[in-house]
Amino acid sequence: MAKIVLKNVTKAFDETQVVKDVNVTIKDGSFTVLVGPSGCGKSTTLRMIAGLEKQTSGDIWIGDRCVNEVPPGKRNIAMVFQNYALYPTMTVKENIEFGLINKKVPKAERKKLINEIAEIVGLTEYLKKKPQHLSGGQRQRVALARAMVKKPQVFILDEPLSNLDAKLRNQMRTELIELHKRLGTTFVYVTHDQVEAMSMGDEIILLNKGEVQQIDSPMKMYRDPNNTFTAEFIGTPA
């Protein structure tokens, strides 16, 4: 578990600022949803937290460490994307195990971890299958398992359900909330869908055009929007 702090974080591509002086504290162990319209800077913000993109200015803290100079592999973060790429020639087990072999985790320990995590995400019966023989939801679970097996302090998920059909998406929302409860890890979850944000987050950060509009619980944001953008985006009756 770790809290994440962004202090005056800005990102510009060429001359264009896409993230503007963002100040947020993501609480330790929270399920925080970063939501806003397409192109508002959500993915860029996540990528800066993960270290895949360097901020133009400002500081990023994870736990009690300023990570400005810390490379992605040393931030103790796991990411799950929308277009999670599984290795097609590897089995589910091998896909999950890959990162552990890289980290030189001993074989017996790997086996224990894989079984434990497969059980949590409901993949125990599928460990010997290849990705092509899995459904969309099962593949998404493999991507999650692959991230979880490294026992990160922070989970970052960038629109992980947007390729799934509506029914499965609903089911996976519930599963992710359960998973968060079970792990107690900090989750930072990006979506452009306000219904998803409101139903999943215990804290919501609403972004528009690179600027934070409001940070609150879903209920507070619904009842007490800061401005008309928030009211319209969240759908608060006028």
Separation CA 3–CA 20 (nearest Å): 21
- Does 83 contact ligand ADP by CB under 6 A? no
- Interface of this chain with ligand ADP, residues 10 to 39, rule: CB under 6 A: 13, 18, 36, 38-39
Q: In whole angstroms, how close is the CB of 37 to Mg ion at the nearest point?
A: 10
- Nearby residues of 166 by Cβ (< 8 Å), 6 or more positions away: none
Q: Closer CB to Mg ion, residue 191 or residue 214?
A: 191
The only residue of 32, 43, 186, 230 in contact with ligand ADP, by rule CB under 6 A? 43
- H runs (alpha helix) in 124-234: 136-148, 166-183, 194-200, 218-223, 228-234
Nearest to 40 by CA among 194, 223, 176: 194
* 132: partner contacted, choices Mg ion, ligand ADP, none (Cβ within 5-8 A by kind): none
78, 156 Cβ separation under 8 angstroms: yes
* Binder of Mg ion out of 6, 31, 41, 43 (CB under 5 A): 43
- In the complex, the smallest distance separating the C-beta of residue 205 from Mg ion, rounded to whole angstroms, is 14
Total residues interacting with ligand ADP, rule: CB under 6 A: 10
Q: Burial-class residue 10 by CB neighbours within 10 Å (0-12, 13-18, 19+).
A: middle
Please report whether residue 160 would count as binding ligand ADP according to CB under 6 A. no
Give the nearest distance from C-beta 21 to ligand ADP in angstroms: 15
**Site membership for ligand ADP, residue 44 (CB under 6 A):** yes
Number of residues that bind Mg ion (CB under 5 A): 1
Evaluate whether 48 touches 60 at the Cβ level (below 8 Å): yes
Residues found near Mg ion in the complex (CB under 5 A):
43
